[in-house]
């Protein structure tokens, strides 16, 4: 890895193939983790709405 500089400030980094692959894998892992967390939030909001707006109880919420 080496840094690209211009005028004394760093504006980029060059990675070799192994470093780029590791970086891509970490990015994909974080995307999957965030997608899962957001899915849980959406499902929770839907269940809460069903409970508060339509009076769904525990049994109906489990079926939903």
Whether 36 and 42 have beta carbons less than 8 Å apart is answered as: no
pLDDT (tens digit, 9 = 90+) per residue, 31-49?
A: 999 998 899 899 999 999 9
Low-confidence ranges of the chain (pLDDT < 50): none
Whether residue 27 is contained in a domain is answered as yes
Whether residue 46 is contained in a domain is answered as yes
Whether residue 1 is contained in a domain is answered as no
Whether residue 2 is contained in a domain is answered as no
Whether residue 20 is contained in a domain is answered as yes
Whether residue 48 is contained in a domain is answered as yes
Instruction: Report the pLDDT value the prediction gives residue 12, as an integer from 0 to 100.
Output: 80
Domain count, the chain: 1
Whether residue 5 is contained in a domain is answered as no
Domain carrying residue 25: 16-63
Q: Is the pTM of this model over 0.75?
A: no
Instruction: Report the pLDDT value the prediction gives residue 50, as an integer from 0 to 100.
Output: 95
Instruction: Report the pLDDT value the prediction gives residue 1, as an integer from 0 to 100.
Output: 67
């Amino acid at each position: 890895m080496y840094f690209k500089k211009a005028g004394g400030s760093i504006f980029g980094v060059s990675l070799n193939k192994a470093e780029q692959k590791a970086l891509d894998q970490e990015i994909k892992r974080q995307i999957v983790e965030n997608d899962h967390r957001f899915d849980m939030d959406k499902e929770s909001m839907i269940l809460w709405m069903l409970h508060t707006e339509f009076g769904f109880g525990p049994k109906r919420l489990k079926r939903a």
